[in-house]
Amino acid sequence: MANRNMISFDWAIKRLLRNKANFGVLEGFLSELLRRKIIIKNILESQGNQQEKNDKYNCVDILVEAENKELIIIELQFSGQDDYFKRMLYGTSKSIVEYIYKGDPYNRIRKVYSINIVYFDLGTGDDYVYHGRTIFVGLHSGKELLLDEEQRSVYNATLAGDLHPEYFIIKVGNFNDVAKNTLDEWIYYLKNNKIRDDFTAQGLKQAREILAFDNLCDDEKISYHRDIKITRIRNSEIETALRKGERRGEKRGERRGERRGERIGLKKGEALLEKAKCQTVINLFKAGVPIETIAIGTGLSHEKIIEILNGEGKI
């Protein structure tokens, strides 16, 4: 079967799929994943306002408001992060808080879905699609807690856990390229940036037209190549800075260790390596690299980076 080369989903959701005329592509993907028809009402602002200096931004790739007022977060992550599970939790929590007005009753809280498309090995598991939800189970009966009749009518739900956020993790690297169903057809595209002519999943027909590189206008093609180049350069700069910092720390640690003994040298080496990492954070921030990207490249938490930059008076 013929494969049609497409632009990356990451670039598409940031540049093309926010256009209402192209909602059908995202609606198709979400409908296949959630196994029910999803109609998009709006694409919401995906970067929340900071309430305090140390408050994190709610940076997600796209935040969708469905026709039934559900909120759907879609985020793509290419580099590993040790705290990514906590980042998922923060994203859903922040969205819940941001989209309820002060004084509103709790029944106005939105249902949130967090969809995470990851290109690194998150956690330990051999499947490629994971679903997480809150469940309330009786310790003695083993039965899940149900909503009462009035609550079912108000919330259009059956289980108590249905009111809480749900999470999906698509581990793209674990997919074996064998599309057994329509959701797999989407994951094939996410992994390979290609759509086979025999694929029939919802949204892929429109995606073939909108996301084909050859169908982009000249300005879009230039922007696409530029963004890919910038991403490669930024990743290279981060890797180079990290390697240099590690080498300097190791060399200084080795020299100190030779003079003062292995134990002292190791401690000093670790301290110098930490200092080198701090300097790397400062240099990358001065160069305009976003804090989220610095966190990915250095392996440091967002809070640690803020602490370093605050200590240097950079923010």
52 in the same domain as 182: yes
Clarify whether residues 243 and 191 are in a common domain.
no
Q: Token digits for 121?
A: 């090995």
Q: Are residues 208 and 240 in the same domain?
A: no
- 171 and 233 together in one domain: no
The residues near 146 (Cβ < 8 Å, ≥ 6 apart) are 158, 159, 160
Backbone angles phi, psi at 202, to 5 degrees: -55, 135
CA distance 144 to 136: 5
Same domain, 133 and 75: yes
Q: Which residue among 167, 189, 215 closes a domain?
A: 215
Tell how strand 112-118 and strand 71-77 pair up.
parallel
Q: Indicate if 36 and 83 belong to the same structural domain.
A: yes
Pair 36, 183 in one domain: yes
Residues 124 and 209 in one domain: yes
- Residues 198, 233 within the same domain: no
* Per-residue pLDDT in tens (0 to 9) along the chain, 315 residues: 667 678 889 889 888 899 999 999 999 999 999 999 999 999 986 544 334 434 444 445 899 999 999 999 999 988 777 889 999 999 999 999 999 887 889 989 999 999 999 988 888 899 999 999 999 999 999 999 999 999 999 999 999 999 999 999 999 999 999 999 999 999 999 999 999 999 999 999 999 999 887 778 788 778 777 777 766 666 666 667 666 766 776 666 666 655 654 555 556 656 666 777 788 878 787 777 778 778 877 778 888 888 888 876 555
Q: Residues 76, 61: contact at Cβ < 8 Å?
A: yes
Give the model's pLDDT for residue 304: 85
Helix extents (H) in 44-83? none
Q: Can you say whether residue 156 is alpha, beta or left, with left for phi > 0 and alpha for psi between -120 and 50 degrees?
A: left
SS (H, E, C) 214-235: HHCCHHHHHHHHHHHHHHHHHH
- Residue 53 phi/psi, 5-degree rounding, is -60, -40
3-class secondary-structure state, position 45: coil
Taking CA atoms, 91 is separated from 78, 79, 83, in Å, by 17, 18, 12
Co-location of 209 and 236 in the same domain: no
Grouping H, G, I as helix, E, B as strand and the rest as coil, residue 195 is strand
pLDDT at 241: 65
Amino acid in position 15: R
229 and 207 assigned to the same domain: no
Residue type, 127: D
CA distance 39 to 214: 28
pLDDT score at 50: 39
Determine the structural domain holding residue 266 and report its residue range.
Answer: 220-311
Predicted local confidence at residue 184, as pLDDT: 98
C-alpha span between 65 and 109 (Å, rounded): 13
Number of domains observed in the structure of the chain: 2
Confidence at residue 256, expressed as pLDDT on a 0 to 100 scale: 62
Strands 62-66 and 194-196: unpaired
Which residues fall within 8 angstroms of residue 99, CB to CB, at 6 or more apart?
A: 44, 71, 110
Last residue of a domain, one of 181, 197, 215: 215
Complete DSSP assignment for 23-47? HHHHHHHHHHHHTS---EEEEEP-S
77 and 159 in a single domain? The answer is: yes
Instruction: Name the nearest CA neighbour of 96 among 154, 17, 165, 37.
Output: 165
Last residue of a domain, one of 180, 215, 250: 215
Say how many C-beta atoms besides its own lie within 10 A of residue 251's C-beta.
12
* Beta-strand runs (E) in 78-193: 112-118, 129-133, 166-171
